[in-house]
Amino acid sequence: MSVPRALLFVPADSERKLAKGADSGADALILDLEDSVGAERKPIAREMAAAWLGARSAGGPQGWVRVNALDTGLTMADLAGIVRAKPDGIVLPKCNAPADLRTLDAALSALEAREGLADRSIRVMPIVTETPAALFTLGGYGGSPRLAAMTWGGEDLAAGVAAKSNRVADGTWDDLYRLARSMTLAGAASAEVPAIDTVYADFRNEAGFAAECADARRMGYAGRMAIHPAQVPVILATFSPTAAEKGWAEAVVAAFAASPGAGVISLDGKMVDRPHLVQARRILGT
Ligand code: COA
Ligand code: MG
């Protein structure tokens, strides 16, 4: 199953948004059991998430679930409530270190066995920058069980360092969040999984969102999480290869195929070597 480019957060206790999300065009919904659901609504949110997952159709968006963080005491009840409905993946918030993924892996394996699901069939995307301590572990995710992608978060991190704001006057991220964003990208690349950019809270600001999506894609991000259906088409448009990129990638692959064994070739007057071939294959999905 492919890693989604556009993942739309939906508070799992909202019937209306669950219905709307299914028609949003997103590659995946992230049914949220965490911050967008109040404490007393957690049990009903688990039930509604499981019901949505159980009723989803093959052609629709993938179904991921954001559980509550491991230190809340709620995570195991979240997992016990939703694994029976076979989610495509779990989003783990406030992941402090790669060791947290081993804790999650053990719990998921027990529940997969109980439900007769293949071991490690459910994948995981951790949010790896929500605590200050987590920033110092970003190079250690390689080889983590179930790791499908990595993403980051700037709101809880701001709270963690007692910041008044995580953006500077022109609306762009402040230094700490730019660092988190860059290190998540490098950490994901070193773990050989895609990096997914974080949410953009100012959801009525389409121009600001589009500019930041373009920036993320240029950096190397493979997709982005959305909080509102209007953000989905912007993400899909930004994170798809352009016709020019596809043409370039096809030309690179064809040039290397025509010169088997060559390490470097010249294409349209420019040097092209192995890293370009890797990039070209990634664009073509081959
Ligand atoms: N998923 C599905 N549907 C959504 C949605 C979402 N994330 N956000 C909004 N909608 C729906 C609304 O229900 C509304 O549908 P309706 O016309 O049938 O009532 C329509 O899209 C337009 O919504 P709008 O009025 O523009 O926004 P809002 O004020 O209702 O909601 C938020 C704004 C921020 C509360 C809402 O977008 C939201 O809940 N986002 C997700 C929050 C979340 O999950 N946070 C956790 C991750 S950070
Ligand atoms: Mg949060």
What mean pLDDT comes out for the span 49-60?
95
- 225 within some domain: yes
Of 240, 256, 276, the one marking the end of a domain is 240
Q: Report the relative pairing of strands 264-267 and 270-273 from DSSP bridges.
A: antiparallel
89 and 48 both lie in a single domain: yes
- 1 within some domain: no
| CATH code of the domain covering residue 11 | 3.20.20.60
87 and 167 both lie in a single domain: yes
- For the stretch 228-278, pLDDT in tens is 999 999 999 999 988 999 999 999 999 999 998 899 999 999 999 999 999
CA angle (9 as vertex; 239, 137 as ends), nearest 5: 75
Q: Tell me how crowded residue 254 is: count the other CB atoms within 10 A of its CB.
A: 11
Q: State the total domains in the chain.
A: 2
Mutate to test the pocket of ligand 1, among 67, 125, 228, 231 (most ligand atoms within 8 A of CB): 228
43 and 89 both lie in a single domain: yes
Query: Could you tell me the residue range of the domain that residue 265 belongs to?
Result: 244-284
254 and 193 both lie in a single domain: no
Q: Which ligand lies nearest to the CA atom of residue 154 in the structure?
A: 2
Q: What share of the chain is helix, strand, coil (3-state, %, to 5)?
A: 50, 15, 35
212 and 268 both lie in a single domain: no
Residue 149 confidence class, pLDDT cut points 50, 70, 90: very high
234 and 255 both lie in a single domain: no
65 and 180 both lie in a single domain: yes
Residues with CB under 5 A from ligand 2 (ion): 35, 156
Q: Which ligand lies nearest to the CA atom of residue 204 in the structure?
A: 1
> For ligand 1, which residues put their CB under 6 angstroms from it?
8-11, 16-17, 20-21, 32, 35-36, 199, 227-229
- Cα of 229 vs centre of ligand 1, distance in Å, is 7
Q: Whose CA is nearest to atom 5 of ligand 1?
A: 228
279 and 182 both lie in a single domain: no
- 140 within some domain: yes
60 and 98 both lie in a single domain: yes
- For the stretch 190-241, pLDDT in tens is 999 999 999 999 999 999 999 999 999 999 999 999 999 999 999 999 999 8
Mutate to test the pocket of ligand 1, among 13, 14, 17 (most ligand atoms within 8 A of CB): 17
Phi-psi region of 10 (alpha: psi -120 to 50; beta: other; left: phi over 0): beta
10 and 96 both lie in a single domain: yes
222 and 256 both lie in a single domain: no
- For the stretch 32-44, pLDDT in tens is 999 999 999 999 9
Q: How far apart are CA 260 and CA 262, in angstroms?
A: 6
Mutate to test the pocket of ligand 1, among 8, 13, 20, 31 (most ligand atoms within 8 A of CB): 20
- 271 within some domain: yes
78 and 158 both lie in a single domain: yes
